[in-house]
């Protein structure tokens, strides 16, 4: 399995299993099956509300020696209600307890947005957000760095950070995140962010690489373009002897990003892993690079309040 060396010297397996939307009753088996067939990297988050069952899958695999802890790479993410430096360790410890682990390999700040810890997982109105002026992201990230010192996490990074947010974070706390996990696929290739992260030594992880078709309808735009049905993707996959999903995974890896497709289906879990070793032809990569349609599947626009949750005109800039 290809790995990336992070800027702190730790190794990140390039390919992993996503677990967002993986339901209780199915994610235990999915995680265990993935580890049985050779996955080494599992992507989790507190807000997926399934970390206890992901944990039971991890524990079953470890107990049956399908994998050893030192060969396993587990990522999780600090939820937006834990941004206060006084709450960061509690958020991390809740995840560790649910997963049944003593440490995380990678801990990410899930969003560059802070919520008040008022009993709601998502704000009901503007008063549920903590303005950046009150609680800068750099304070949260500095608190995450102390988790490393305590041995609770091996590496720290961020998620959903744009170039300007990364620049500000690094300038304010002097810590370069090891990873930035963002939405990347042919409809949202983000070349400027890729160039910036390459320059800073930040590894990008591609989320929603297959177009996240199982998102709830409430998160979907009207007339959303399904990535897996794109005619160029379908034709190129056939030429390469791959399924469309495999093509998109191979494309992500060929671009030098890590990639974490989600599946709870044993056949697709194996299908996706088989793509991790595929050398994509230059021609196939180019054809996907040239897709012009732009679409972002994950963009909770209700959270983007200029002057509160970000400073500029565009949350993603």
Ligand X SMILES: NC(=O)c1ccc[n+]([C@@H]2O[C@H](COP(=O)([O-])OP(=O)(O)OC[C@H]3O[C@@H](n4cnc5c(N)ncnc54)[C@H](OP(=O)(O)O)[C@@H]3O)[C@@H](O)[C@H]2O)c1
Which positions lie near ligand X, rule CB under 6 A?
A: 18-21, 43, 110, 159-160, 181, 207-214, 228, 243, 245, 260-265, 268, 271-272, 298
Kindly state the tokens that stand for 205: 């992880």
Please, what is the minimum distance in Å from the beta carbon of residue 114 to ligand X?
15
48 in catalytic set = yes
Give the residue with the Cβ less far from ligand X, 84 or 183. 183
Specify whether the CB–CB gap between 177 and 141 falls below 8 A. yes
Query: What's the CA gap between 204 and 141, in Å, rounded?
Result: 18
Beta strand 129-130 with 73-78: parallel, antiparallel or unpaired? Answer: unpaired
Closest CA to 55 of 24, 83, 86: 24
| Of 1, 32, 36, 25, nearest in space to 15 by CA | 1
Nearest CB to ligand X, comparing residues 20 and 187 = 20
Contact 129, 115 (CB under 8 A): yes
Which is nearer to ligand X, 174 or 293 (by Cβ)? 293
Of 236, 244, 269, 257, nearest in space to 183 by CA: 257
Question: C-beta of 214: minimal distance to ligand X in Å?
Answer: 3
Shortest Å distance, C-beta 295 to ligand X? 12
| Shortest distance in whole angstroms from residue 65 CB to ligand X | 25
Shorter beta-carbon distance to ligand X: residue 9 or 95: 95
Nearest Cα residue to 58 out of 106, 15, 101, 90: 101
The catalytically annotated residue of 39, 48, 187, 196 is 48
- C-alpha to C-alpha distance for 44 and 27, rounded to whole angstroms: 11
**Min. distance of Cβ 194 from ligand X in angstroms?**
16
Q: Which helix (H) or strand (E) holds 77?
A: strand 73-78
**Closer residue to ligand X in complex, CB, 150/213:** 213
How many other CB atoms sit within 10 Å of the CB of residue 69? 12
Residues that are catalytic? 48
């Amino acid at each position: 399995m290809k790995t990336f060396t992070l800027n702190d010297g730790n190794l990140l397996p390039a390919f992993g299993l996503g677990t967002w939307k993986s339901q209780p009753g199915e994610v235990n088996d999915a995680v265990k099956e993935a580890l049985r067939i050779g996955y080494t990297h599992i992507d989790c988050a507190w807000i997926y509300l399934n970390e206890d069952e992901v944990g039971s899958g991890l524990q079953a695999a470890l107990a049956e020696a399908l994998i050893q802890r030192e060969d396993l790479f587990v990522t999780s993410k600090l939820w937006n209600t834990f941004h206060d430096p006084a709450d960061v360790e509690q958020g991390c410890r809740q995840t560790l307890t649910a997963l049944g682990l003593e440490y995380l390999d990678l801990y990410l700040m899930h969003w560059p947005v802070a919520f008040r810890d008022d009993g709601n997982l998502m704000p009901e109105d503007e008063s549920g957000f903590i303005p950046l002026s009150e609680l800068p992201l750099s304070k949260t990230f500095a608190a995450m760095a102390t988790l490393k010192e305590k041995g609770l996490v091996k590496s720290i990074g961020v998620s959903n950070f744009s170039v300007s947010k990364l620049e500000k974070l690094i300038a304010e706390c002097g810590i370069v995140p090891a990873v930035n996990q963002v939405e990347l696929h042919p409809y949202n290739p983000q070349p400027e962010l890729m160039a910036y992260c390459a320059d800073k030594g930040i590894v990008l992880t591609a989320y929603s690489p297959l177009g996240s078709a199982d998102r709830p309808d409430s998160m979907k735009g009207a007339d959303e373009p399904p990535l897996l049905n794109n005619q160029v993707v379908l034709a190129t996959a056939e030429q390469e002897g791959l399924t469309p999903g495999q093509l998109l995974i191979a494309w992500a890896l060929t671009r030098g990003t890590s990639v974490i497709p989600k599946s709870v289906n044993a056949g697709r879990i194996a299908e996706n892993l088989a793509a991790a070793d595929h050398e994509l032809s230059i021609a196939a990569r180019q054809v996907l690079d040239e897709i012009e349609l732009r679409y972002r599947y994950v963009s909770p626009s209700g959270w983007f309040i200029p002057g509160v949750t970000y400073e500029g005109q565009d949350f993603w800039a």
